[in-house]
């Protein structure tokens, strides 16, 4: 009798990253012009350390300004290109939710988890080996919906059950210490 042997699927690990306030500076309004898109200090180093440790790097960002007609997907792509250039092209994927609740409904928009789910399927990710780093509670909630631990970068929305760090470099230290 011919027995078919199957090898176990190896699941991968990733760090999901919110964009504004984690990777680039918050400027008080929508960040869509490349000249206003400023990569935060320590971000290239943090991404390099995570990549060296074997993590996929996946950006998941709400971009409601598209639904509001303030800018286009091409503008978002231009900012993402600037980020890739500044960080040595280490980011494996970018997902963005163009909707806004006042204009359209979308499962992509955090705190929903469709952006994370798409990346989990694409990269065969093990949620137990993944992290969500964001600066808003909705980021952490999106990760929690798919079983991904979160690290909140922010002093204004602290939640007792969530790990916190002042910036991505400090969050990287927490991730790599696990």
Active site residues: 18, 20
* Residue showing tokens 């798409």: 118
**Secondary structure in 3-state letters for the chain:** CCCCCCCCCCCECEEEECCECCCECCCCCCCCCHHHCCECCCHHHHHHHHHHCCCEEEEEEECCCCCCCCCCHHHHHHHHHHHHHHCCCCCCEEEEECCCCCCCCCCCCCCCCHHHHHHHHHHCECHHHCEEEECCHHHHHHHHHCCCEEEEECCCCCCCCCEEECCHHHHHHHHHHC
């Amino acid at each position: 009798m011919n027995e078919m042997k199957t090898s176990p699927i190896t699941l991968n690990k990733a760090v999901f990253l919110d964009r504004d306030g984690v990777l680039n500076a918050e400027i008080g309004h929508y960040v869509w012009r490349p000249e206003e898109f400023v990569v935060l200090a320590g971000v290239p180093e943090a991404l390099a350390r995570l990549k060296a440790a074997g993590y996929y790097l996946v950006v998941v960002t709400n971009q409601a300004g598209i639904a509001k007609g303030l800018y286009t997907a091409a503008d978002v792509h231009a900012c993402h290109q600037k980020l890739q250039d500044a960080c040595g092209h280490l980011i494996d994927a970018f997902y963005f939710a163009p909707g806004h609740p006042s204009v359209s409904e979308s499962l992509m928009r955090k705190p929903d988890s469709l952006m994370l789910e798409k990346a989990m399927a694409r990269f065969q990710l093990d949620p137990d080996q993944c992290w969500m780093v964001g600066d808003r509670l909705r980021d952490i909630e999106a990760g929690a919906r798919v079983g991904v631990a979160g690290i909140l970068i922010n002093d204004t929305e602290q939640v007792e059950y969530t790990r916190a760090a002042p910036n991505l470099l400090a969050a990287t230290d927490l991730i790599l210490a696990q």
